[in-house]
Every structure is written in C-alpha cells, then in structure tokens.
Amino acid sequence: MFDLGILRPNQYLDSIQNIDFAGLKEKGIKGLLFDIDDTIIARRSDVIGPMLFNFFENLKDQGFSVLLLSNNFNPGRVERAANELKLPFLATVFKPLSFGYKKALRILNLHSPEVAVIGDQLFMDILGGNRMEMHTVLVKPISREIAWYRKIMRFAEQWVLSRLAL
C-alpha cells in the first residue's frame, strides 16, 4: 500500500499560537514558511489586526527569517497580507510542487533542514515540506470549509491523520 509516511507532519498543533519557536530554534530552524489561508487568517477574511502583526514582529525579533508561501490564485490578496505584515511572499506556488519552496530557500538564503513549513493542509503544505525535507508543522484550519472540493480534501486529511495516529 502507498506509504502514508510522507504525509506525516513533524508536529500537529491547534494553531500557530501553540508553536514552540524557541524549540524550533534549538533544532537549528532559522527560516519559517507560513501558509496564509486558514493558517494565519481565515480564507474568507483579509483582516490582519495588531495581534497577528505583533506575532510576526516577535518572530523577526527572535531572528527568524519569515516568508509567506501561498497557493492562492489571487496575488493581490497575498500581497496585501504581506505588505501589512512586512513580510516577503510567494503566491500561486502550487504546493506540494517544489519550485515555490526552492524559490523561498533562495530568497531566504537557507538550506532545507534550516526551514520549517507551517500550514493547515496535509496534501499541500505538509506533503511539499516533507518532500523538501523541511521541518513540517500542521495546524488546524481556522475556518470551517464551505467549498465542496476542499471539504472532500479535509475528509481525506482526517482519514490520513487517523491512520497516522495523529
């Protein structure tokens, strides 16, 4: 049978607020690639807010290089979020394909083992990160899904997570 191991995140947490960044730093992580939709803000919201702004300022103060890596087909949405958060970004990168991750490595001037991928989608963020041999952190999606195709994907994700005993 297909080995589900490539889908296993290194960590599975409720939200980005629960990530132990000091612990990541101890593991040698220097760069953080954040998914946007349903990882840092709800898919149908573009409200950033001071809490999120401070969250990323704090990570920069801790010495992390941060980049927003989004599959969103609306580069304007991604750019607005990136501008508000004062972060570099890459949009429409077709995770889990590797070119976006590779481009992010070049921008941040880091190697794969120095980078953590943080996202809510197992078959996109995590699969892509694992294939790149980056540290992967799965978080629970912020909003309830309404698009039928992503509902199916979330159902499949839950099945995989139960098989992986996560």
Interface with Mg ion by CB under 5 A: which residues?
35, 37-39, 120
In this structure, the number of other CB atoms found within 10 A of the CB of residue 76 comes to 10
CB contact set of 24 (below 8 Å; sequence gap of 6+): 32, 116, 135
Say how far apart CA 35 and CA 31 lie, in whole Å.
13
User: Considering beta carbons, is residue 120 or 157 the nearer one to Mg ion?
Assistant: 120
Nearer to Mg ion, 153 or 164 (CB): 153
**CB of residue 1 to Mg ion, shortest distance in Å:** 27
Q: Considering beta carbons, is residue 109 or 155 the nearer one to Mg ion?
A: 155
Q: How far is the CB of 2 from Mg ion (least distance, A)?
A: 23
Q: Which is nearer to Mg ion, 8 or 95 (CB)?
A: 95
Structure tokens at 98: 């590797």
Which residue, 37 or 157, is less far from Mg ion as judged by CB? Answer: 37
> Among the residues of 3-122, which ranges form H helices?
21-26, 49-61, 75-85, 99-108
Report yes or no: 134 and 117 within 8 Å, Cβ to Cβ.
yes
Least separation in angstroms between CB 35 and Mg ion: 4
Nearest residue to the partner Mg ion, using Cβ = 37
- Closest approach of Cβ 69 to Mg ion, in Å? 10
Q: How far is the CB of 29 from Mg ion (least distance, A)?
A: 20
DSSP code string of 117-155: EEES-IIIIIHHHHHTT-EEEEE--SS---SHHHHHHHH
